Structure formats: structure tokens, C-alpha cells
Amino acid sequence: MMSERTNCSGTGGHRNSWRNMSLALNTVIVGDALTVLKTLPDAFVDVTVTSPPYNKGERDKGWLVDKVVYEGARDCKDEAEYQAEQVAVLNELYRVTKPGGSLFYNHKIRWVRGRLIHPYEWVSKSRWILRQEIIWHRKIAANLRGWRFWQVDERIYWLYKPRYEGDTIGEELNPRHALLTSVWEIPPERDQRHPNPFPIELPTRCIFSVLDGRKGVVLDPYCGIGTTLVAAKLLGCDYLGIDISETYVAIACERLQNAEAERARVAAELSLHVVRKTFKERKERGEWVGRFRPKPLANGDLEQIAKQVTLPMQDE
């Protein structure tokens, strides 16, 4: 399959054969993620934020969400083939990332015939160092059946490429980012032009937290309708997107050309990245160092709580 790229930095955009051109940023490439990644140079990306199709099976659906069908891609591969492909994609992303760079990889826990399939099964087989597992609390469940507690969460793996041998930790986050915790309560996006687009707050948080306002290169190899790319542009970064669907790429380019219309949501997310006193300052002053101060229990509170709790009866 011959890949093409669309230049979205201007007003009109144009397409040419990707293989016959040198790398140019602020473009969106039409093509298969793994195929295109193999053509990219080493170590030029600062941050990748992406979410591949989950291989949920196109026949499956929940009570609230219809079956997920992506244009130009199948979401019902053999599981072993799917996982091997994801490991290959992750390793190519590692190659194109600068030392010290990050990948935020969104996926979810799935069940197939009662067997739990956890994304860490293949993430752990890649070259990346897992810096943190973040819980994305989406606040809504796709399936409301009672086989399990309703699943309202997904995973975001913060993966890290070491700067040197033995560098397994990386640089410390600025406190204004770290205080957002490892549970991100961000509602899902409602744009119906794609079956599962990011809310723009999510890639904004990822990019801004690790770059901390610096300019960098942002990549999304499954860019869909371009949310990661729009966030990158509004944060002053260069971007590169890849998607197999010409329709999604066309929408992404339209959004990029009209990115200012989405600045308010990006600004709202940035307003959360504020810390008035650092952990160190609070500790030096003998002040509370947790984000949430627990309310002290008054005398008799425990007795009152105990009286309000109804425990199941036990057989004598």
C-alpha cells in the first residue's frame, strides 16, 4: 500500500507520495501505522499520544454503545496477531523517539469468553520502560450488563525511553502536573465522526505535563480525526499524524485549519495545572503535604458511623 501525506499546515493542503519525500512536520500521513513508522527516521519525536483500535470484535457491542467499526481498518484480528502487531508498533515508536522522550499509550482491559486480556501483556514485551499506569476514569460504561461491575475506566501507559543506560526514572514532573494524580477524570468525547476519539483535554494533559511549555515534536500513529494533533498545535508544538482512513485524515486537516475554535477547551485543561505551594514549601513550613486534607473525627463520630452501617446477618 502506497502511503500519502497531507500537508495541513496551510489553508489548502496537498498530497504526494510519502516514500518519495523527505520528512516534513505538521502533516498527516494516510497509511498503515506500522508501515509508515518503518519509513521514519530515528529519534526525532518528543512525545507520542495514541490509542490503537482495541480489537474488540466488530460484532460486539454494549447496551449503550453500538458495535465499533473503523473506516479503513478491521477491529477483529486474531488476538495473537493483534498483540504481535502492537509490540512491533511500540518498538517502532521507541526507535523514532528521542532519548528521554515519552509515549502515552491508551488501551483498555477486555474480556474474551470470560478470560481477562490486559494491555500490559504486550506492553511489557516492548522496549519501553513503564513509568506509570494511569487510570482514565471516563465516568460512563459502554455495557450495563451485570456480569461484572460496570467498566468506566481505561488505561493510559506512560512509557519512557531512557536517556542513558540505567536511566529508569527520568526527570521529575513539575508539581503543577504531578498534583493531577494518577486517576484522570475526563469524560469521553462525543464527536460522532469517529467511533472512539480522544477528548482534547487528554492529549493536552499528556503533552503539557512532560514538555512543561517547551516546544517539541508530537506524534500520533493512530491519529483518527486529529485530536492529538490539534492539541499539539495549540500548545505550540510540531506534529505528525498517521491514519489509514482518508476520511478521518480529511477531518483532521479541517480541524487543524480551524484549531483556534478548540482553544477554550485546551485553556480550561491548562488552568488545572496550578500549584500554589510546592510539597517542599509545605513540608518546610510544617503544613499539610497531601492534596486532600482529611477531616478529623470528633468524639463519638465512630459510634455514629457504626450505627449507620447495616451489616449482613450471619448464621449462628
pLDDT by residue for the chain (316 residues), tens only, comes to 445 666 665 433 333 334 433 468 999 999 999 999 999 999 999 999 999 999 877 555 544 445 555 465 555 689 999 999 999 999 999 999 999 999 999 999 998 888 999 999 999 999 999 999 999 999 887 777 778 888 899 999 999 999 999 999 999 999 999 999 999 999 987 777 766 789 999 999 999 999 999 999 999 999 999 999 999 999 999 999 999 999 999 999 999 999 999 999 999 999 999 988 777 787 888 887 665 554 555 556 545 544 544 444 444 3
Q: What is the identity of the amino acid at 299?
A: N
Nearest in space to 27 (alpha carbons), one of 38, 14, 43, 44: 14
Ranges of each domain in the chain: 4-308
Task: Write down the architecture of domain 4-308 according to CATH.
Answer: 3-Layer(aba) Sandwich (3.40)
d(CA 291, CA 286): 14
d(CA 222, CA 270): 24
d(CA 119, CA 135): 13
Residue 295 is classified by DSSP as: P
Helix (H) or strand (E) holding 305: helix 301-308
pLDDT score for 315: 46
Q: What is the identity of the amino acid at 138?
A: R
pLDDT score for 113: 85
pLDDT score for 60: 53
d(CA 189, CA 206): 16
Helix (H) or strand (E) holding 203: helix 201-211
d(CA 116, CA 154): 14
